[in-house]
Structure 1
Amino acid sequence: MHILPHSSKGKLNGLFALALVGAWYSLCKGAIALSPGELLAGLTSSRTNGGSLSMIMHLRMVRIASALLCGSALSLSGSLLQQTLNNPMAGPSLLGINASAALSVLLGMLLFPSLAQLLPLFSSVGALVGSVIVFSLATLYRFSRLTLILSGIALSTVLGAISDALLTIFPDLVAVKVDFLVGSFAHITSTQLSLLSPILVMAMIIACMMGRPLTMLSLGDECATSLGLRVNRVRLLLLSLSAVLSALAISLCGLVGFLGLLVPHIARRMIPTHDALHLPFTALLGGCIALFADTTARLIFAPYELPVGIVLSALGGPSFLVVLIKYRRGESYA
C-alpha cells in the first residue's frame, strides 16, 4: 500500500506534510502532555512569562529540530557516499569518521575534563581531521574508490585500537564512550544547535545540487570524463561534503546508527537516483525517520526514555537484513 503519491514531487510534498505532523505530535506528547490550546499558549508566550510551559516547548522544539537536522544530514551523507563510491554498503564509518570522532571525544574528556560542553567541538574537529587523513592516504596511492575504502578501514582499525587502549587505562571514560556510541538528541542545547545548524543547512543545500555530477559518475569514470567531468576533483568534492555533513551531525547527536546506511536504500526504491528530487527526498526522509524514532524513544517507556540509537538499531537491523537479501538476489542498486 502506497502512502505517498506516485510522482516525485507529490512524494516530496507528502513527506514534508508527514514531517509537520510528526513535529506537531512530538511537541504535544511526552512525560507532560500538551493540549492544542496549551501548545498555542506555549508558542505565543515568552520563556520568562510563560513559566514551565514555555520551557517545555523550548526543550522539545530544540530536540525536534535536532532530530530533523541530524537525520537529514546523516542520510544525505550516506547517499553521497554510496553513489560516489558505487558501494551500497558505504556509510560514514567507511571514511574513518566515526572512529576519529569517538577518539577525539575521549581525548577531549581526558585532557580537558572541565570542558564537557565543548564535546561537539572535539567531535567535529576529530571527524574532519580523520577525513583529511583518509583523503591524504588515498591520494598517496592513486586516488580511487578502492584506495579510499582501504584507507578508511585502516584508519578506523588503528583509531579504534587507540580508543580501546584509552578505555583500558582510564576506565572512567567508559560512560562518555557509551553515551557517544549509542547516540541521542536529548542533550543537544539550543546554543550548540544555533552554532552548527547554519553550516549544516548550507552543506545540505550544496549537496542537494550535486545530482547531475552524481548521475555522470554513475556512468563510469571514462564516460564521465568524456562528458567533460573532472572525475577525481568532483569525487573529492562530494566526499568532502559527505564528511562535513556526517562530522557535524555526529558532533551533535553522537553515533546514531543506520540512518546513513539504510535511508539511502529506502529513498532509491521510492525515487530513482537520476531524479532531481532524489537527494532532497533522501534528506527529508532521514529527518522524518529520526524524528519518529526519537518520539518513540521518548514515549515507549514514559516517563523514562531510551536513547534514540537503540530504537534506530532495533528498527534498522531487520530492515538492513532485507536490503542485504535483495541485493544478493541481484536486484538493482540504483
Structure 2
Amino acid sequence: MSDMKERNETAVSEFILLGFSSLGEKLKTFLFLVLLLTYLITITGNVVIIFIVWVDRHLHSPMYFFIANLSFFETWFTSVTSPKMILNFVSINQNISFHGCMAQSYFCFALGGTEFCLLVVMPFDRFVAICCPLQYATIMKQRLCVQLVLGSWVGSFTVISLQMVLILKLRFCGPNVINHFFCDNSPLFQLSCTDTSGVRRVDSILISTVVLSSLCLTMLSYGSIFFSILRIPTATGRQKAFSTCGSHLTALAIAYGSCIVLYARPSGSFSLDVNKGVALLNTVLYPFLNHFIYSLRNKTVKLALRETFSWSTTKLFPNL
C-alpha cells in the first residue's frame, strides 16, 4: 500500500503551462508577434553591446565592463522564459517536463538574483567615479571588477541552489496545470501534495532579503550620487546627470517594483492572472529596456557603434 502511495505521489512527470491561453485568438496572435519582436530586439541589442565593448578599446573601462556583463546576463535571463512562452501562443502542446520545469525555475531565480547583485555593483561604480574621481582608478581595478561580477554570479547561484534543494523534496501527485507562462514558485507550491509551509517561508525570506537588501544598497549609492550632482556648478551639467540617473531609476523601478509585487509581499495579495502581467514586466520589458537605457543612450557607445559599423562596411564593401 505504501509503495502504491509513493508511486502516486511521484506520478507527475510533466506540467502544463496555461500561459495566456484564456485570451482570444486575435489577441494571442498580436501578443505573439509583439513578444517575438521584443525578444529578438533584446537578444540582438545585447549581443551588439557585448561585441562593441569587447572590440572597442575606448570601452575597456569598469563601467562598460559591468554593462557588458549585464547584457550577457539579460540575454540568458530573458531566454529562460521567453522562448517557451512565445511558442505556447501558437503551439497546441503547452507541456513542459518535470525536470525542465525545475531547471527553468532554478535558472530564472538564480539569474534574477544575479541581476540584483549587479544592480548594486553598477551604481557603486558610478558612486566611486562621481564622488571619488581622484581615487577611481585606484579603487576600481580590473581585479576588483572581476571579483564583484563573479561574486554576484556565485553568490546568487549558491543561495538559489539551497532553495532548489528544498523544492525538489516536494512531491507532486496531480493536478499538473500551472496557471502561469513559466514555472514560478508560487503556482508550483499550490500543486504540491505535501506541506509547503516551510519551503514557502524559506522562499519568501530568501527572495525578500535579496530584493530589499539590494534595493537599499542601490538607493544608498544613488542617494550619494544625487547629492554630488547637486554640487555640480553648471545647470547644464546637473540636467545631463539628472537625465541619466532618471532613466536608470525608471529601469530600477520596473525591476524592483515588479519583484516586490510578485515576491516581497503577503501571499495571495493578487491573483495569478495579475501576477502573470507583472511578471511580463520583469522578464520581457525590463531586459528590453536595459540596453537602451544603460548603453544605446550613451554617447561613447553610440560613437563606438558608428565607428565599428563604418569599419565593417569598408571591409565588406571596399568599393562603396
Above 0.5 in TM-score?
no
User: Which structure's relative contact order is higher, taking Cα pairs within 8 Å and 6+ residues apart?
Assistant: 1
How does the TM-score come out when normalised to structure 2?
0.31
Greater C-alpha radius of gyration: 2
How does the TM-score come out when normalised to structure 1?
0.30
